[in-house]
Structure 1
Amino acid sequence: MSTGILEGQPGTTRHRDPFHTDCSARQLLDHVTSRWGVWVLLRLQEQPLRFYELRNHIEGISEKMLSQTLRNLAKDGLVWRKVEPTSPPQVTYGLTPLGSGLRGHLATMLDWIEDHTEPPA
């Protein structure tokens, strides 16, 4: 069985196959395009936010889903996490340079959606 990263012959470069289920690029895209991933990334474009600020800014997301989404985005290198040693700990999240690089793409996608969605009657 082949893997998501294909090994070439000596002298050739490795490349990913995003159509294979084991490809790390595919897993990253699954996290970015998850139900809540896009909204978290869009909200963090403006400024770093604490966990509860994020939860309050993204209507409809549960604490469990926000925590899971942030964990996946951090694992993928799109979001950083800073814990301040207070009681209770204050946890702040922001975009890494990789996550910030998605800014234009997410804005374009959001603009397209807004242009092609009919307002509610």
Structure 2
Amino acid sequence: MARMIKRLPMLPAERALKVISGRWKAVILYYLFDGPRRLSALKALMPGITQKVLIDQLREMEEHRLVSRQIFAEIPARVEYSVTPLGISLEPILLVLCQWGQHHAGELDERAHLADCIIRPRPIAEAAPAK
């Protein structure tokens, strides 16, 4: 395994926040929850992000195994990014954060300025029978 760019904190909550912190990581995951996307498609969905920042954020998430990159042997080469099972495990957390953001906006009478929360919780897979 490649060495992490930065050493992660030992406190689990701090570690989790470090892995998903940043202005764009949650947004990138949000769009990848719908399925694999090419870099250009992600950039089009987030016009406020520069290509350099998008690539840096994707690389960090790839190092933390939240996102995977698949390179297709085509000319020109096609690259798609998708969320990994570890990344998918963040979906319910991002849903709760989205709901809390709506609650916070409501408390400040700013709800009309928000986009909809459209992260859909996935059905929880049934546990394997005990042996």
Q: Same fold (TM over 0.5)?
A: yes
Structure 1 unmatched ranges of 5 or more: 6-15, 20-24
- 1:93 corresponds, among 74, 81, 93, to 81
Which protein has the bigger strand share? 1
Matched, 1:65 2:60: no
Give every structure 1 segment of 4 or more consecutive aligned residues whose post-TM-superposition deviation is greater than 4 Å.
Answer: none
User: Pairwise CA RMSD of aligned residues?
Assistant: 2.2
| Counterpart-to-counterpart distance in 2, 1:96 and 1:35 | 20
Larger radius of gyration: 1
Task: Provide TM-score, normalisation by structure 2.
Answer: 0.69
Q: Is the 8 A contact 1:78 1:98 kept in 2?
A: yes
Q: What is the percent sequence identity of the aligned residues? A: 30
On the 8 A contact 1:31/1:69 being kept in 2, the answer is no
Unaligned runs of 5+ in 2: 1-6, 114-131
Residue of structure 2 in register with 1:17 after alignment: 10
The alignment partner of 1:104 has SS state of: helix
Report the residue type matching 1:66 in the other structure: L
In 2, the alpha carbon distance for the partners of 1:29 and 1:112 equals 16
Q: What is the match of residue 125 of structure 2?
A: none
Distance 1:59 1:116 in 2: 25
Q: Deviations over 1:34-80 (max 9, x none)?
A: 11111111111111111111111123011001000000000000001
TM-score, normalised by the number of residues in structure 1: 0.74
Give the number of equivalent residue pairs: 101
Q: Following the alignment from structure 2 to structure 1, what is the Cα–Cα distance between the partners of residues 76 and 20? A: 29
